[in-house]
Structure 1
Amino acid sequence: MINVLINAYAVSPNWGSEPGLGWNWVTNLAKYCNVYVITEGEWKQEIEAAVEKLPQKDNLHFYYNPLPDRIRKMCWNQGDWRFYKYYRQWQEKTLTIAKEIIANNQIDVIHQLNMIGFREPGSLWKINGIPFIWGPVGGYGWTTLKYLSGQPISVKTKAILKNILNIIQGKFYSLSNNAMKRADCVMAANSNVYNYIKRNFREDVVLLNETGCYVKNIPLSENENNQVFNILWVGKFDYRKQLELAIRTVSQLEGAYPFIKLNIVGDKDNFTYSRLSELCSTLNIEQNVVWHGKIPNKEVHQLMQESDVFLFTSIDEGTPHVILESIQNNLPIVCFDTCGQGDVVNDSVGIKIPLSNSSQSPSDFARAILSLINNRKRLNQMRLNCSLRQRELSWDVKMKKVVGIYNSILQNTKE
């Protein structure tokens, strides 16, 4: 059995996003490898309680490098750049812990897992003599600015500055570039990142999305004769997620199909909600929109099982886990053909439209949804196809690929 040392800052059995990613990777990998994990200590109690219930618990060994609460708060506030100073310090201490683990255990592979952004390769690449894997890596590239129309000046400025910073750091950030050169394998989180790395750094990059599916046998609901056609939207109310596109899409559908319902899940406590609520009034579709607010994940899954289509309008993502959740709940998807959703969604479970601009996209989305309203046989077939797609995207399939990469690298090292 391969002994793997994993650097994963964020690991939690009870959260989604980066912490959930970390948990799913290390626990599923432990079915096939002996896994040593260095993580921050915020969820230590939850981790240890959850590990005890796992059949593979003997293959999981956690080491904690805790930070004060004030620094954790900086991490949760994604716009707080002060966090990165402390994160670098955390990585240097993690390097010391890693060396101690290596001194006392036979480690075959070192894997830098998360955070997955390219600016955050950790420090374990500095250790020589053991194969180093980095990834899945995200964040390379830039966000299209063709969807800035109608956004506040602060949002426009932030998007432009972020693109400039990404372009500069993507090419010249020495920490990332050194890790990129040192790595025996680099995994890209989506096709955009894959193409960027292949074009600028190395030909042998591997495409591997950072998230996966759990196979669920959820009974299929028969929605063909329902009078109401339910569209579900889930996400933060920010520029990247483009909720306004979803609202404008429904305004174009309402005239042709008056029983459309757009169910919106997300925190309403911000300026964006006020602005978009007014937009619904202006477009005269208040009766077609239901604002659910921020609700538990269990309730989101229930909404998915009761809906007809998942409308995902985001233009800037890694691989959004909510897309995998939609497939797990047999809910067909309409989304942009970009980022991780462009890799995960295929013609069997959804419809993808090209990135264009804020004027054209609502028409494109409306046309796609209308095609499913008018062809319920195709829509129901997509529901059936979700079961197969779950298996193709499952954590088990993904971890077998990762173990295959480990074995290939170790074999090349021996040779």
Structure 2
Amino acid sequence: MQNKSKILICAYACQPHRGSEPGVGWNMVSELANNSQYKYLVATRSYYKTYIEKETIPDNLEFFYYELPQIFIRLKERFNLLRIYYYLWMLGAYIKLRKQKNSFYIIHHLTFVNDWLPSLFVLFKTKYNHFIWGPIGSHSRVNSIFLNSRKEKVIEKIRIFLQTFYRTFDPFFMICKKQSSKIIGINNNVKNKLKLKHKLQHKFISFPAIALSQKQIDEAIYQAKKKRISKETFNIISVGRLMYIKNFHFTISVFAEFLKSIPENEKEKIILTIIGEGSQKNALIEKCKTLNIYKNVQFLGNIPQKEVMNYFSKANVFLFPTLESAGFVILEAMVNFLPVLALNTGGPKQFLKEETENQLVEYDNRMSKMEIINSMASKLKKLYNNSDLINKIGLVNHNEIVNNYTWDKKAKKVISIYNSLK
């Protein structure tokens, strides 16, 4: 007889006070434990143990730490073999846990948030328990007009090939689709990528993987009360790794076109702040110099999260034409009362529900890249000329996060799924 209160969670990435995958892992498991009486065992990497043990752990939350031998870690770091390491880690963790002969009523794969590699924790599935796969997702195919070099085009083709290969030929991927009681996609595009047969589509539900904590919301409100927008400066901010999927070349092109429309005596007060590091940094700096806008752009590199939030609180607009399917920084900008200028695709589209005509740039394959750049630059100019509109959109965005994208609300959604399987 299965103990219906015991849940095993696979959270390969799980670290407090972090964004991205580790943030999804930690925030979700801690909120799940705080919001229900289920007993959770979370399998995660030994790497995160020292960070987790500094936190207050609820009584109904335990961790199982596992790591592959050091030689695998060195190979992963030297040859960028993260996905292979992840695959082997799941297999090793499964074998180790299986030896403990624990039984679980629900097995939940939480991280990685990945819809083209399977979860080997599906091997725990029996006819007496349930397997939940997700949230899972991935970046959609990038439109070639946003790829700036042959190298980027090759990388994109390899990325799509690998995703298609695993979804088509990995037997564990097929097992995950068939054996899952529920599949949680970060958006409805995931269902199309999985190519679920009609009889399996009832398993699929959709909601984003990311959210913010109440502490982050409270801090944003506190900073907003102190905020005094200076008419002497106009601060535009963009945050993320400087890589092609984030589309920073496009960001700089938009900013350059926007500056062309500004009177010379006003240009000095306009600053674009770019926070993040990455392989494109030098090329982006050179582009700013070529476009003669370098004095209006500051590259801050990687800075502590608290400082990032400080820059958000002082900004007027968040400029983020990303090509990815998610991103914590979008939520962080929104909760800090900022308008978000983005493309009508991927992550921003699923979070920006109101004032979309002033924030999202529509485009299709008939448009040239320059037309899309000009469209976004004109929206930026509209915001520059209308501080009341900035305040209006900022409040709408903040309320969207408060009402729909907190970890507490997300955990309650997952718990309702658990309860439905009893």
Query: Is TM-score (shorter-chain normalized) higher than 0.5?
Result: yes
Equivalent position SS for 1:331: coil
| Equivalent position amino acid for 1:398 in 2 | K
Instruction: Decide whether aligned partners of structure 1 residues 89 and 167 sit closer, same or farther in structure 2, where only a CA change above 3 A counts.
Output: closer
Is the Cα contact below 8 Å between 2:256 and 2:291 reproduced in 1? yes
Shifted more, 116-125 versus 23-32: the winner is: 116-125
Alignment of 1:10-25 (within 5 A): 10-25=13-28
Asked whether 1:395 is paired with 2:415, we answer: no
Paired with 1:195 and 1:244, the residues of 2 have a C-alpha distance of 30
| Equivalent position amino acid for 2:362 in 1 | P
Specify the alignment match of 2:305 in structure 1.
Answer: 297
Specify the alignment match of 1:335 in structure 2.
Answer: 342
Specify the alignment match of 2:292 in structure 1.
Answer: 284
Specify the alignment match of 2:6 in structure 1.
Answer: 3
Specify the alignment match of 2:30 in structure 1.
Answer: 27
| Equivalent position amino acid for 1:331 in 2 | L
Is the Cα contact below 8 Å between 1:191 and 1:343 reproduced in 2? no
| Equivalent position amino acid for 1:254 in 2 | L
Is the Cα contact below 8 Å between 1:253 and 1:260 reproduced in 2? no
Paired with 1:199 and 1:293, the residues of 2 have a C-alpha distance of 42
Specify the alignment match of 2:201 in structure 1.
Answer: 203
Specify the alignment match of 1:413 in structure 2.
Answer: none
| Equivalent position amino acid for 1:309 in 2 | V
- Post-superposition Cα deviations, 1:164-202, rounded to whole Å, max 9, x if no partner, equal 332343344322121111100000012322443366674
Paired with 2:187 and 2:92, the residues of 1 have a C-alpha distance of 30
Paired with 2:196 and 2:228, the residues of 1 have a C-alpha distance of 46
Is the Cα contact below 8 Å between 1:262 and 1:289 reproduced in 2? yes
**How far off its partner does 1:361 sit?**
2.6
Paired with 2:157 and 2:195, the residues of 1 have a C-alpha distance of 25
Equivalent position SS for 2:201: coil
Paired with 2:191 and 2:341, the residues of 1 have a C-alpha distance of 23
| Equivalent position amino acid for 2:370 in 1 | S
Instruction: Decide whether aligned partners of structure 1 residues 332 and 214 sit closer, same or farther in structure 2, where only a CA change above 3 A counts.
Output: farther
Alignment of 1:16-415 (within 5 A): 16-31=19-34, 32=36, 33-50=38-55, 53-54=56-57, 57-72=58-73, 75=76, 80-81=80-81, 83-100=82-99, 103-104=101-102, 107-126=104-123, 127-128=125-126, 129-139=128-138, 141-148=140-147, 150-151=148-149, 153-197=150-194, 202-204=200-202, 205-215=204-214, 216-217=217-218, 218-219=221-222, 220=224, 226-257=231-262, 258=267, 259-267=269-277, 270=279, 272-317=280-325, 319-348=326-355, 351-356=359-364, 358-391=369-402, 392-410=404-422
**How far off its partner does 1:120 sit?**
3.0
**How far off its partner does 1:118 sit?**
2.3
- Post-superposition Cα deviations, 1:219-254, rounded to whole Å, max 9, x if no partner, equal 325555523211101111111111111111111111
Shifted more, 252-261 versus 68-77: the winner is: 68-77
Is the Cα contact below 8 Å between 2:11 and 2:43 reproduced in 1? yes
Equivalent position SS for 1:275: helix
Equivalent position SS for 2:292: coil
- Post-superposition Cα deviations, 1:279-317, rounded to whole Å, max 9, x if no partner, equal 212212122111112211111110000001111121123
**How far off its partner does 1:136 sit?**
0.7
| Equivalent position amino acid for 2:177 in 1 | M
Paired with 1:188 and 1:132, the residues of 2 have a C-alpha distance of 15
| Equivalent position amino acid for 2:410 in 1 | K
Instruction: Decide whether aligned partners of structure 1 residues 344 and 100 sit closer, same or farther in structure 2, where only a CA change above 3 A counts.
Output: farther
**How far off its partner does 1:46 sit?**
1.4
Percent of matched pairs sharing the same residue: 28
**Number of matched residues?**
397
Instruction: Decide whether aligned partners of structure 1 residues 140 and 362 sit closer, same or farther in structure 2, where only a CA change above 3 A counts.
Output: closer
**How far off its partner does 1:84 sit?**
4.1
Paired with 1:266 and 1:293, the residues of 2 have a C-alpha distance of 4
Gapped runs of 5+ residues in structure 1?
Answer: 411-415
Is the Cα contact below 8 Å between 2:6 and 2:39 reproduced in 1? yes
Equivalent position SS for 2:144: coil
Paired with 2:23 and 2:363, the residues of 1 have a C-alpha distance of 29
| Equivalent position amino acid for 1:266 in 2 | G
C-alpha RMSD of matched pairs (Å): 2.4
**How far off its partner does 1:390 sit?**
2.3
Paired with 1:233 and 1:206, the residues of 2 have a C-alpha distance of 31
**How far off its partner does 1:92 sit?**
2.1
**How far off its partner does 1:366 sit?**
0.9
**How far off its partner does 1:355 sit?**
4.5
| Equivalent position amino acid for 2:152 in 1 | V
Shifted more, 110-119 versus 83-92: the winner is: 83-92
Instruction: Decide whether aligned partners of structure 1 residues 333 and 141 sit closer, same or farther in structure 2, where only a CA change above 3 A counts.
Output: closer
TM-score (norm 2): 0.86
Paired with 2:139 and 2:387, the residues of 1 have a C-alpha distance of 39
| Equivalent position amino acid for 1:65 in 2 | Y
Paired with 2:246 and 2:197, the residues of 1 have a C-alpha distance of 28
| Equivalent position amino acid for 1:280 in 2 | C
**How far off its partner does 1:336 sit?**
1.7
Paired with 1:140 and 1:322, the residues of 2 have a C-alpha distance of 16
Paired with 1:84 and 1:166, the residues of 2 have a C-alpha distance of 12
